[in-house]
Structure 1
Amino acid sequence: MGDLLYLYGLIPTKETTEQSFPSFKGFDNERELYPIPVGDTTAIVCNLDSGEYSEDSIKEKINNDMQWLQEKAFHHHETVLTLSKAFTVIPLKFCTLYKNKDSLTQTVQSNQAKMESTFELLEGNEEWNLKIYCDDKILKEQVSENNPAIEAKRIEINELPKGRQFFEKKKLDKLIESELEEEKNRVSEEIHFQLKEFVLQGNVKRNWSKDVTGKDENMTWNSVYLIPKSDVEPFLEKIQQYEKEMKEMGWQFAPSGPWPAYHFSSFS
């Protein structure tokens, strides 16, 4: 049986002629990465033993060997990240495998038009992530003191008989929680809207739980942006401005990047 091809990413062939291809160890930590030109697109691959890295054996490793999964996922990410610093890269998902060069070539050729448009979108731009966190305790105090709907409910409760006030205060607690969530969403959405001034595209992702982030504060917003390189600095300066103005109100901002453009390119 022949070797499998592990595909890391795709880059414009013209960029491979402008600079030398760097040396990387491949997925098996033995054989090196190398380019396969397919017209205007070049695939970045390494060879893998088809016996050791069969589909079934990889599924077994992913499901039952967390250390192997972490090491290989980190290798994939770091390799694609390093490539993205030197080339315009369409990054591929972890463990994208082809049986042979002909299979890979056919797939690349059949998607050439899509890849050309994606390269045009990505060239000269960077992917950045922004996570926003909030101290619910601090913000809840502000919402409780300054929200008109909550104040109106308090007045209503004070005018009720003592026996009914207990149950209505329970409703007030739920109202405060509801208004807190609305305030977090309102502020985060407004920030997201203002940041679009600096970006080509911006997408909202699902928030992470505290178990994932390891932080005491709740994540209120998780977004990714495709930003022209010339606008990255003002984008980050705007976030620093938010941090400075909103820190005492319990808000925290965590921008990160640049990352391989996983969220603005798709090729499967």
Structure 2
Amino acid sequence: MEQLIYLYGLIPTSELSSEPLPPMKGFDQEGELYPIQIGQHSAVVCKLDGSEYSEEKIKERVDQDMEWLQEKAFHHHETVMQLAKSYTTIPLKFCTLYKSEESLIKTIEDQEIKLAETFSSLKGNEEWNVKVYCDDQLLHEEVAKNNPAVEARKEEIKELPRGKQFFENKKLDKVIAEEAEAEKERVGEEVHNHLLGYVLQGTVKRNWNKDVTGKKENMTWNGVYLIPKEKVETFLEQIQDYEKKMGEKGWQFVASGPWPAYHFSQFS
């Protein structure tokens, strides 16, 4: 029976030596996770039945069985989270499979320099996520009252004949909507650039829609940051300050973490 190797993540062998891997169930909930030592790095893996977890079989389950996908994705996430709590971890994506231990070992050996650099950049640091949300109605009201471009347009309309004023006021709603979208982008960029002063690295991700977030407010910014552990508290204080200053105007600033460093690992 052909066996596949499922790779969860990579950790420094030195850390594994001082703190052995705790018992954890594998992807099929039957086998156990175990480490493969490859010089300075160790791969945390489990074995899978190749006939049951081939690429074709997995693709079929992903396409047809949402419950299976959710269960397995949750298992992968929770396992990598547990690793990251105890070790400097390079997390691997869901369903990273190798045909043999030998092929995995060769891949790791070929990436020795890149892996060493990545572990060096991750050690002593944490990945955090910051999402910004906005109440569109409150923002539109604020823009209608205080936005310079909208105010200028109102003044222009006042100078027009009454007949034209009616139609131009209708167009004003479009100007307000455009300025509101520009304000969302401005606030997001301002927050992001401010937070970069407290982190080692930061990057912007795609916003999620309401179906994913489950919130009534729209997500307007989504950033991830690699932060030295000793600066996390100060970083979170910046988020709280934004919430205090802008919360009453319909803005929400939500920080979450620490997460496995998926966005700052150069190996996949």
Fold-level similarity (TM above 0.5)? yes
How far, CA to CA, are the matches of 1:167 and 1:211 in structure 2?
Answer: 36
Could you tell me how far 1:182 is from its partner in structure 2?
A: 1.0
Aligned-pair identity in percent equals 64
Q: Which residue of 1 aligns with 2:32?
A: 32
1:163 positional shift: 2.1
**1:20-42 deviations in whole A, cap 9, x for unaligned?**
21110000001100000011110
Q: Distance in 1 between matches of 2:220 and 2:128?
A: 17
1:55-74 deviations in Å (ceiling 9; x for gaps): 11111001100000000000
Q: Map 1:23-62 onto structure 2 (within 5 A).
A: 23-62=23-62
What do the CA deviations read for 1:79-113 (whole angstroms, capped 9, x no partner)? 00000000011100100011111100100000011
Provide the TM-score with structure 2 as the length reference: 0.98
Instruction: Report the CA distance between 1:167 and its aligned residue.
Output: 2.2
What CA distance in whole angstroms lies between the structure 2 residues aligned with 1:9 and 1:235? Answer: 27
Q: Secondary structure at the match of 2:227?
A: strand
TM-align CA RMSD: 0.9
1:18 paired with 2:18, answer yes
The offset of 1:171, in angstroms, is 2.1
Q: Which amino acid in 1 is paired with 2:208? A: W
Q: State yes or no: 1:115 paired with 2:115.
A: yes
What secondary structure sits across from 1:173 in the alignment?
helix
Cα displacement (A) at 1:10:
0.5
Q: Which amino acid aligns with 2:39?
A: G
Query: Is 1:211 matched with 2:211?
Result: yes
State how far apart, in whole Å, the 2-side matches of 1:40 and 1:149 are: 59
Moved more, 53-62 or 142-151: 142-151
Could you give the per-residue CA deviations for residues 118-139 of structure 1, whole angstroms, max 9, x where no partner exists?
0000000000000000111112
Amino acid at match of 2:166: F
State the SS of the aligned residue for 1:82.
helix
Q: Secondary structure at the match of 2:154?
A: helix
Who is 2:240 aligned against?
240
Using the TM superposition, give the Cα deviation of residue 244 of structure 1 relative to its aligned residue in structure 2, in angstroms.
1.2
* Structure 1 equivalent of residue 160 of structure 2: 160
Give the counterpart letter for 1:179 in structure 2: E
Return the alpha-carbon distance in structure 1 between the equivalents of residues 114 and 54 of structure 2: 29
The answer (yes or no) to whether the contact 2:202–2:225 under 8 Å persists in 1 is yes
* Alignment correspondent of 1:101: 101
State how far apart, in whole Å, the 2-side matches of 1:200 and 1:87 are.
19
1:199 shift after superposition: 0.4
Kept after mapping to 1: 8 A contact 2:128/2:224: yes
Please say if residues 2 and 51 of structure 2, whose CA atoms lie closer than 8 Å, have aligned partners that are also in contact: no
Partner secondary structure for residue 219 of structure 1: strand
Matched residues in 2 for 1:117 and 1:100: separation?
26
Distance 1:238 1:57 in 2: 47
Q: How many residues are treated as equivalent by the alignment?
A: 268
Residue of structure 1 equivalent to 2:67: 67
Gaps of 5+ in 1: none
Distance between the aligned counterparts of 2:239 and 2:259, measured in 1? 18
Q: 4+ residue runs of structure 1 moved beyond 3 angstroms?
A: none
Which whole-Å CA distance do the structure 1 matches of 2:8 and 2:210 have between them? 31
Distance in 2 (alpha carbons) for counterparts of 1:20 and 1:42: 12
What letter corresponds to residue 204 of structure 1 in structure 2? V
1:26 alignment partner AA: G
**1:169 to partner: Cα distance:** 1.6
Residues 114 and 266 in structure 2, CA contact (< 8 A), matched pair in contact too:
no
The corresponding residue for 1:146 is 146
- Are the counterparts in 1 of residues 12 and 41 from structure 2 also a CA contact under 8 Å? yes
**Which residue is equivalent to 2:88?**
88
How far apart in 1 are the matches of 2:50 and 2:149? Answer: 65
Deviation of the 1:152 alpha carbon: 1.5
Could you give the per-residue CA deviations for residues 130-168 of structure 1, whole angstroms, max 9, x where no partner exists?
000011111211111111221111121122122212221
The alignment partner of 1:227 has SS state of: strand
In the other structure, the counterpart of 2:3 is: 3
Deviations 1:163-203 (A, max 9, x none): 21222123211111111111111112111111112100000
